[in-house]
Structure 1
Amino acid sequence: MKPQRIFITGGASGLGYSLALICAKGGWRVCIADRDIERGEAVLGSLQKIQPQTIFMPCDVTQFDDLNAAATKLQEIWGGVDVVVNNAGVAQVGSISDTPLSDWQWIMDINLMGVVRGCKVFTPLFQQQGHGHFINVASMAGLLDVPNMSAYNASKAAVVSLSETLQNELKPHNIAVTVVCPSFFRTNLGQGMRSTITGMQSKLDKLMAGSKLNAADIARQIMRALDKKKSHVLPHRQGRIAWYAKRWLPRTWYQRLIHSQKK
């Protein structure tokens, strides 16, 4: 794939860093953005050894001005950007009765509104240059409905809906949108997780450890989707099977399947 210019939120670790690494090795101009300044500066050196033009920008996706400043800076130094990856996200687990509204507001502001801000900021730039590609990282949680994850599920389902809407809305402007829906895989998502369920961290660690795919595997699938301008990326086979079951089985059968997974 021809080298391009890419901006990645949450780019200092996990999937974001894996994407940055692949692009740097491919000769792309890479900008990683992250609110963790210490981590961002730490990984910048390793990326610059591969691609000296790699840059890091401190960025909090809950702050519109941070994203707007990033878009302005990239237009100044690169003359634009070809791919924007809205990757930053957090996790929350808990029943509807136990999850405080403040947790709902927190996760929506990052998982949903962070993507909204990214798309809103960079769409005018894409329109001005006549092309662009958004990669919005959602989750299989946005397609399925596992109990005790209502806030997280809803935030990711909204990212799926937003992405599918923008696929239609932005197509006339030569702007592509891909939504990525991975299942659990080894990442640092659990570090900032909020949970009202005892022992959830250890359960999450087991789910992540059991994944047959890692961040690099998923990053490679995203790169292939970029090349082919695919609308959806569902990396995990088990996740795809569960989604097909939800779509085609009677609801009561699917619910029995979901509850059987909890035992």
Structure 2
Amino acid sequence: MSQRIFITGGASGLGLALAHRFADSGASVCIGDIHTERGSEAEQALAAKATAKFLTCDVQRESDLQAAADWLLAEWGGVDVVINNAGVASAGAIDEFSMADWQWVMDINLLGVVRGCKVFSALMKNQGSGHIVNIASLAGLIHPPRMGSYCATKAAVVALSESMSLELDGDNIAVSVVCPGFFRTNLSESVRASDSSAQVMTEKLVSKAKVGAEEIADAVYTGIVQRDYYIIPQADARRNWRLKRWLPFKRYRQMMLKSTAGMMRRG
């Protein structure tokens, strides 16, 4: 039987690239997304390669994720890999980013992952196996200025994943956390920023990235197959994380202040 994959935010960006990568391997792929038109188009493209299904799914609603789990159990007999990928971008100084926007980004980037983990860990416990993959970001490990809300949600996903990896070990459920650096994708479509310069900063970081979603998806796919815990696709991202872990904090802080000076410019 082919692997059964479920991906939130699977109608575009990294989620769609991962869906195609798994479909290319012969897996059955179900994508969940809030964008119905994009989701239907993605389903048609995926169906040319493998068994595919699109489900309308908003990660802000636990009931949507439960409905997806119920569908997978009824139609495919369960699920082997769940990728909690849906997310949004945010940027802004701590004294300028509104509390309403904080609640919005937390509800999607963190609690959206929590809801997926809650629903699908229960399914996987009952079936006796599974693999949960949480998409975080290098921003969950390294925290540049004017990105506090985004960094906080992604760091929380890293912490959640580590806790889950220990908690679910005895249930034969693997956990991976994916921490890519910036790559070319449509993430900037969803960005909420406290001002125009923060908006432009985020769009530049995404649009000027060296690699695209397909290249990241290839590396993430390999990490999932190997059941790696940390999946950090880019070599420069791995290097920067090692520097943070190994350098004395004062020296690391000075390096970050220098390298992120451009992010502090307004206007």
Q: What TM-score do the two structures reach when normalised by structure 2?
A: 0.94
3-state SS, counterpart of residue 48 of structure 2: helix
2:113 corresponding residue in structure 1: 115
1:178 pairs with one of 170, 176, 187: 176
* Aligned-partner residue type, residue 183 of structure 1: G
Structure 1 residues 54-73: aligned runs within 5 Å: 54-73=52-71
> Are the aligned partners of 2:188 and 2:206 in contact in 1 as well (CA < 8 Å)?
no
**Aligned AA for 1:10?**
G
Q: Are 1:47 and 2:46 an aligned pair? A: yes
Which residue does the alignment assign to 1:6? 5
For residue 221 of structure 1, report the CA deviation from its aligned partner. Answer: 1.3
Amino acid at match of 2:15: G
CA distance in 1, matches of 2:23, 2:260: 41
* C-alpha distance in 1 between matches for 2:137 and 2:49: 30
Contact preservation (8 Å) 1:178, 1:231:
yes
Contact 2:92 2:198 in 1 (8 A): no
Asked if the contact 1:90–1:111 (Cα under 8 Å) also holds between the matched residues in 2, the reply is yes
| Partner secondary structure for residue 88 of structure 2 | coil
Q: String of CA shifts for 1:10-37, please: whole Å, max 9, x gaps.
A: 0000100001111112211100100111
Aligned equivalents of 1:6, 1:124: Cα separation in 2: 16
- Superimposed CA distance per residue, residues 172-201 of structure 1 (whole angstroms, 9 cap, x where no aligned partner): 100000000001101111111010132334
- Structure 1 residues 110-119 or 215-224, which shifts more? 215-224
Whole-angstrom CA distance in 1 between matches of 2:156 and 2:197: 28
Closer/same/farther in 2, CA of residues 247 and 159 from structure 1, 3 Å limit:
same
Task: Give 3-state SS (helix, strand or coil) of 2:10's partner.
Answer: coil
Number of the residue aligned with 2:265 = none
- Provide the alpha-carbon RMSD of the alignment: 1.3
Aligned-residue offset at 1:8: 0.2
User: Secondary structure of 2:83's match?
Assistant: strand
Contact 1:3-1:26 within 8 A present in 2 as well: no
CA shift digits 1:121-142 (9 cap, x unpaired): 0111101111100110000100
Aligned to 2:34: 35
Equivalent position of 2:264 in the other structure: none
Aligned partner of 2:133 in structure 1 is 135
> Whole-Å Cα distance in 2 between the matches of residues 194 and 205 of structure 1?
11
Q: Which segments of 5 or more consecutive residues in structure 1 lack a partner in the other structure?
A: none
Equivalent residue, structure 1, for 2:221:
223
Q: Structure 2: which 5+ runs fail to align?
A: 262-267
In structure 1, the residue matched to 2:87 is 89
Deviation per residue, 1:70-123 (Å, 9 max, x gap): 000110000000000000001110111111111111111000001100010011
> Normalised by the size of structure 1, how large is the TM-score?
0.96
Helix, strand or coil at the partner of 2:133: strand
Equivalent residues, number: 261
Cα deviation, 1:208-238, whole Å, max 9, x if unaligned, reads 2332322111111121112211000111222
Aligned to 1:200: 198
- C-alpha distance in structure 1 between counterparts of 2:61 and 2:113, whole Å: 11
